[in-house]
Amino acid sequence: MTLDDDAVKIILSTKGTMDDVSPEMKRILDYIDGKGASDKFTEELEEAVCSARQNERWRLDYMTLEYEYRQRYLEGKEEGLRKGEETGTAKTRERTIQKLHERGDSIASIADIVELDEEEVKRVIDAMKR
């Protein structure tokens, strides 16, 4: 896949059936697929993986980072839902003001119904006229 920024992404599958990769890449893909180390590079890779798994500090840092990502995701999701709800409520309120105004209700009556002050109702009505 080629992108506009001249970056090139190559997508490899450990379950691929075409033999269009180098023998070295095939050994790496086999290792990733769980078939074990089969050359010096994949043996070194296996040692690094084992070392990382046994490194308690690294694991703690990784878990902390995962927790932080999860918290930020949840906070962002919550904020998005809140903003969406606020936007939806504002749009509904504006449509209600418009319909009541078109029906001929007074500013005071509309303000009472939509629970806004009269100045805000006037602002919405003025914005609709534009």
Instruction: Determine the pLDDT at residue 53.
Output: 82
User: Is the residue at 91 inside a domain?
Assistant: no
User: Is the residue at 19 inside a domain?
Assistant: yes
pLDDT along the chain (130 residues), means of 10: 75 84 90 93 92 85 92 95 91 92 94 92 89
User: Is the residue at 59 inside a domain?
Assistant: no
Domain assignment of residue 8, given as a range: 1-54
From the number of C-beta atoms within 10 Å of its C-beta (0-12, 13-18, 19+), residue 110 rates as buried
Instruction: Determine the pLDDT at residue 81.
Output: 93
User: Is the residue at 20 inside a domain?
Assistant: yes
30: Cβ contacts below 8 Å, ≥ 6 apart = 14, 36, 38, 42
Instruction: Determine the pLDDT at residue 9.
Output: 86
**In angstroms, rounded to a whole number, what is the distance separating the alpha carbons of residues 39 and 30?**
11
Q: Tokens 């180098």 correspond to what residue?
A: 22
User: Is the residue at 98 inside a domain?
Assistant: no
User: Is the residue at 18 inside a domain?
Assistant: yes
User: Is the residue at 86 inside a domain?
Assistant: no
User: Is the residue at 40 inside a domain?
Assistant: yes
Instruction: Determine the pLDDT at residue 2.
Output: 52
